[in-house]
Structure 1
Amino acid sequence: MTALPSVPPPPPASPPASPADASKVLTVRDFSVRFSTEDSVVSAVDRVDLDVGAGEIVAVVGESGCGKSVTALGLAGLLPGTAEIEGSVRLRDQELVGAPERVLRPLRGRDVTYVFQEPMTSLNPVLTVGRQITEVLHVHQKLSRAAARARAVELLALVGIPSPERRVDEYPHQLSGGMRQRVVIAMAVACDPTLLVADEPTTALDVTVQAGILDVIRDLRDRLGTSVLLITHDLGVVADIADRVVVMYAGRVVEQARVEELFARPRHHYTTALLGAIPTARRGEGDHRLQEIPGLVPVLEAPPDRCTFADRCPGADDLCRSSQPTLAESPGARHDHQVACWHPVPVTVPGHEQAEATT
């Protein structure tokens, strides 16, 4: 999940949230991250905007190298000192970009918590799982030893670990991979956080265990009202659990919509390519082959003034290669569907011809 790196002076404080924004737990605006290397400055995240509402699960998807994890880590100042951060990240009415460590440290583990993809690297192998959970409770809630232990047992039961009274005294190596991930989730929700950031929480888990972890996250959202920002490349997971989807490519948001809308009517060519690569039971029959996206995600030393997907997009033209599309409401789609594309995939309506010709 390191101290906030040296950054340019923070932007002017944003005005108080309007009544329309009162339900937003996380508001990210013009969020950019650059990394200084020996040879150049790499633009990892470029002017990202996203929101997470109260009790909402928002999934951020895209290939490896698209900036998903950098965005997640940058929210609470967990990036290394080589990172330069600009923009605004507001947790409720608290600005996090540029905030001093004395402000950010109490927020981490209490208001913003993280679940990473490999639990064995998140847990200390020489401490019992109970000791690691109670540490969070001691630091943020000042509970006594007995009260913290009782709460740890309660949390292990909450995330579905059997015999929690016994498991609380066991070490990580005594638990299965799925149970270790549940322990990490128990630590993350120990203080009833406002926002849970889950970065590939089901990677390397088998399908059955993966389903159990997703059920735990969903159940915690329903019980505790915790908002979830889910980082993943697995669109099957997204379809199962998310309320909204944010698609990132080369450090930018290229499309976002409600999950049902995005799967039914994707507008960006990158999104359609990702959806075409989802394995199904019909793959291998006739022409039902997995689609491939030619090329690789570019490493950007400077944000280009053109569409970053143009070199891999079969529909790109001179306009795409010479100017940058902005994220805007998608014509012909729902009001909450935005896309950054000069030539969006046409919207089709069942029983009718294409509702809109390609621009």
Structure 2
Amino acid sequence: MTGSAVEGRPTTSSAVLEVKDLSVTFRTEDGPLSAVDRVNLQVSDGEVLAIVGESGCGKSVTAMSLAGLLPRTATVEGSVRLDGVELIGADKRTLRSIRGREVAYIFQEPMTSLNPVFTVGYQISEVLRVHSGLSKQAARKRAVELLKLVGIPSAERRVGDYPHQLSGGMRQRVMIAMAVACDPKVLIADEPTTALDVTIQAGILDVLRALRERLGTSVVLITHDLGVVADLADRVAVMYAGRVVETAEVHELFARPQHPYTAGLLGASPAAGRHAGTHRLNEIPGLVPVLAEQPDACTFADRCPRAIDTCTTKQPALTAGVACWNPEGR
């Protein structure tokens, strides 16, 4: 894979998605709430970039901001470029034309994302008719092909089913079919295997892998499951309290994590392969902070076993792939 997926690495012209200094602040009754702070990401053609971290770290907010899906209470600053086209500040018409066609989403709960009063075939066909201009008959035929593509058996019959008639795994496959209907340049998968059992999860990952190889689509994978990351991703960006704290190729990250938070995530995950048999998993003490504003200090310092005095007085920048004053291995 050529090119960089994230900040801190050399880049090439193959980058299809470039995010620079992305910040998101929400207006609340208690005042401004900083959810994302100066995030920088790049994704190359055909690359899978995983964004990982605990709940509340800003992963989903980052993903939703890429195509303008945040509510009006959000203030978004920075730059998001898709093939050189700026999306931050773009008008509604431009964003509507991009969503589903250039950038598509797979949301984590298909039962709430799919409309219960329309058949799955109608919902896939609607995407094709709006963005590709297909006739009703042609769109339905293509919907059947897409259901076959994502591994749904008896697609000719299932195309007429409603969401409640399908299992959780099949509904997730329908969501994937809708997302790739128009061959998007970037596919954003937000916790695509949440609440699915291990067997179904493996099937969904196989579908995503096959689609990536067949269509060459770039994927931004939002997850807290390091097993999924190891199975699918090329590169990883670790987020904590709204900031990217480490970036690396997936094998490098698992073998030699630099940020103490990354090491803590790996130590707390059975998927990392560091805790077999009856060994207890490690825990990261404390909780992700809710930030009214980004402090001039390391936000992980209170939970960090490697914290030094500088950590409580100055915020570290992302340098050489890690934002830490006292990284692992030093």
Tell me how far 1:21 sits from its aligned partner. Answer: 3.3
Contact kept in structure 2, 1:283 and 1:290, CA below 8 Å: no
Match status 1:188 vs 2:171: no
Tell me how far 1:20 sits from its aligned partner. Answer: 5.3
Match status 1:34 vs 2:25: yes
CA offsets per residue over residues 13-42 of structure 1, 9 Å max, x none?
xxxxxx953200110000000001112101
Equivalent pairs, count: 319
Alignment partners' CA distance in 1, 2:176 and 2:23? 28
Partner of 2:96: 105
Partner of 1:71: 62
Match status 1:216 vs 2:213: no
Partner of 1:240: 231
Greater length-normalized contact order (CA 8 Å, ≥ 6 residues apart): 2
Alignment partners' CA distance in 2, 1:283 and 1:240? 19
Alignment partners' CA distance in 1, 2:160 and 2:72? 37
Tell me how far 1:290 sits from its aligned partner. Answer: 0.7
- For residue 219 of structure 2, the aligned residue among 228, 233, 237 is 228
Percentage of matched positions with identical amino acids: 71
Alignment partners' CA distance in 1, 2:29 and 2:214? 48
User: 5 Å matches for 1:310-321?
Assistant: 310-321=301-312
Residue type of the alignment partner of 1:55: G
Alignment partners' CA distance in 2, 1:45 and 1:306? 16
CA offsets per residue over residues 315-354 of structure 1, 9 Å max, x none?
111111001110011xxxxxxxx000011101xxxxxxxx
Contact kept in structure 1, 2:308 and 2:326, CA below 8 Å: no
- For residue 159 of structure 2, the aligned residue among 168, 174, 178 is 168
Partner of 1:83: 74
Partner of 1:118: 109
Match status 1:207 vs 2:198: yes
5+ residue gaps, structure 2:
1-9
Residue type of the alignment partner of 1:172: P
* SS of the residue 2:42 aligns to: strand
- For residue 125 of structure 2, the aligned residue among 134, 158, 162 is 134
Alignment partners' CA distance in 2, 1:102 and 1:118? 27
Residue type of the alignment partner of 1:128: T
Partner of 1:21: 12
Partner of 1:15: none
Please report the TM-score for the alignment, with normalisation by the length of structure 1.
Answer: 0.87
CA offsets per residue over residues 295-323 of structure 1, 9 Å max, x none?
10001111111111001001111111001
Partner of 2:323: 340
Alignment partners' CA distance in 2, 1:200 and 1:319? 35
Contact kept in structure 1, 2:36 and 2:241, CA below 8 Å: yes
Match status 1:324 vs 2:315: yes
Residue type of the alignment partner of 2:90: A
CA offsets per residue over residues 27-74 of structure 1, 9 Å max, x none?
000000000111210100000001111000000000000000000000
Alignment partners' CA distance in 2, 1:284 and 1:202? 25
Partner of 1:146: 137
- For residue 260 of structure 2, the aligned residue among 269, 278, 293 is 269
Alignment partners' CA distance in 1, 2:295 and 2:82? 30
Contact kept in structure 2, 1:157 and 1:164, CA below 8 Å: yes
Residue type of the alignment partner of 1:185: I
Alignment RMSD, CA only?
Answer: 1.2
CA offsets per residue over residues 154-206 of structure 1, 9 Å max, x none?
00000000111111011111111100000000000000000000000000000
Partner of 2:85: 94
5+ residue gaps, structure 1:
1-18, 330-337, 347-357
Residue type of the alignment partner of 1:246: A
